[in-house]
Amino acid sequence: MSLITRANIARTLLLGFFLLFTFVPLYWMFITSIKPSDDYLAVPPVWFPAEPTMLHYTAALFAYRGLDGLINSVIISAAATLLSTVLGTLMAYSLARFNTGGQHLSFWVLSQRFLPPIAIVLPIFLIYRAVGLHDTHFGLIIAYTVFTLPVTVWMMFAYFRQMPKSLEEAALVDGCTRWQSLWRVAIPLAMPGIVAAAVFAFIACWTEFFFALILTSQTAFTLPTVFRAFLGFQGAQYGEASALAMVSLVPSIILGILVQRHLVRGLTLGAVRG
């Protein structure tokens, strides 16, 4: 057997194994979400239910307040994404074009990305309780804005850096104010990068658990925190948990795959072009 085909077989095996590894948990969760509760403990396990049911979905959304969580997640993630994208893009533009604050400012923003959340969430919790922001949409929105800002800033920083500045300069000479040259020239041209940064910010908010767990309870709770209801020994709501998981993961996977071209830039905060 030649070396080439041996390498090919190794590659096929590795990719096949890993794809299996990736999809088994997702498959099992999907099946569980449509499996009647009677099939839960069957031996051998039921790999595909004879009579699929949507009962778990309705129960998860209504009985366990999954729908409220979903709505909150949409509101909070969308608002935080909007804020983070707008503020982050403005800041990134300033850093990229004017080197504002030198290296210090940009690295200070970057360092925020690596702060352990536990260190920051404790005092935020205390302050929020004191000023009445605990368990409010607004409170979580601004927390998420700050939490996604470093990524947005650094992604857009890298994006603006590779855009030629002569277009904005032409606009200035043509009679624009700085703001007009930003708004009418730089922003439209950076749109693909801005959209990608926004999608990453949205996914980050959509999947976030830790801040939501601590900063919300009965009103502004997001989708991931609804899973608390299914933990421990409160009975076996496997189907409901799975149904809720499916509802949550489908949108973010679709969004993620739509911007996969920008993935490397997103994961490395713009350090690698990809």
Partner 1 sequence: MSAPATRFDALSEWSDRHFKWLLVAPAVLLILALSVYPLLFSVWVLFVNYDFTVPGHGFVGLRNFTRVLADPVARWSLWVTILLSTINVTIEFLLGLALALAMVKSFRGRGLIMSLLIIPLFISPVIVGQAWALLLQRPFGPTNYVLSQILGFEVTIGWLTQAPWNFIALVLADVWQWTPFMFVILLAGLTAIPPNLYEAAELDGVDGWRAFWWITLPQLGPMIMLAITFRILDAVRLFDTIFVMTGGGPGTNTYSSSFYLYTLGFTQFHLSEATAGAWMFLVITAILITFLVRRLLKAEPT
Partner 2 sequence: MAHVTIKGLHKHFGAVHVVKGIDLAIADGEFTVLVGPSGCGKSTLLRTVAGLEQASEGTIEIGGKVVNDTRPRDRDVAMVFQDYALYPHMTVAQNIGFGLRARNFPRPEIETRVKRAAKMLNIDQLLDRLPRQLSGGQRQRVAIGRAIVRNPQIFLFDEPLSNLDAQLRDEMRSEIKRLHQELGATMIYVTHDQIEAMTLADRIVLMNAGQIEQSGTPLELYEKPRTRFVAGFLGSPKINFIKARLENAGIVFADGQTLKLPAVDAQRYAAHAGKPVIFGIRPQHIDRAPMTGSPHIKSTVDLVQPTGARTYVTFTIGGEPVMAELDAHDAGKPGDEIAIALDLAHFLLIAPENGNVLGR
Query: Applying CB under 8 A, which residues contact partner 2?
Result: 164, 166-167, 169-177, 180, 184-185, 188-189
Binding partner at 174 among partner 1, partner 2, none, C-beta below 5 to 8 Å by kind: partner 2
Binding partner at 166 among partner 1, partner 2, none, C-beta below 5 to 8 Å by kind: partner 2
Q: Residue written as tokens 């992604």?
A: 155
Binding partner at 238 among partner 1, partner 2, none, C-beta below 5 to 8 Å by kind: partner 1
Give the pair of three-digit tokens for residue 142.
Answer: 């601004």
Nearer to partner 2, 189 or 267 (CB): 189
- Centre a 10 Å sphere on the Cβ of residue 55 and count the other Cβ atoms it contains: 15
Nearer to partner 2, 54 or 167 (CB): 167
Question: Least separation, in Å, of the C-beta of 105 and partner 1?
Answer: 7
Question: Least separation, in Å, of the C-beta of 244 and partner 1?
Answer: 9
User: Where are the alpha helices (H) located in the chain, listed in sequence order?
Assistant: 3-33, 55-58, 66-98, 102-114, 117-131, 137-161, 166-174, 178-181, 187-207, 210-215, 223-226, 238-258, 263-267
Binding partner at 232 among partner 1, partner 2, none, C-beta below 5 to 8 Å by kind: partner 1
Distances (CA, A) of 147 to 101, 162, 221, 266: 21, 25, 17, 15
Nearer to partner 2, 1 or 173 (CB): 173
C-beta of residue 245 within 8 angstroms of C-beta of residue 67? no
Binding partner at 195 among partner 1, partner 2, none, C-beta below 5 to 8 Å by kind: none
Question: Least separation, in Å, of the C-beta of 62 and partner 1?
Answer: 20
* CA 259 – CA 110 distance, rounded (Å): 22
C-beta of residue 85 within 8 angstroms of C-beta of residue 268? no
Question: Least separation, in Å, of the C-beta of 167 and partner 2?
Answer: 5
* DSSP code, position 38: G
Nearer to partner 1, 54 or 131 (CB): 131
Question: Least separation, in Å, of the C-beta of 99 and partner 2?
Answer: 11
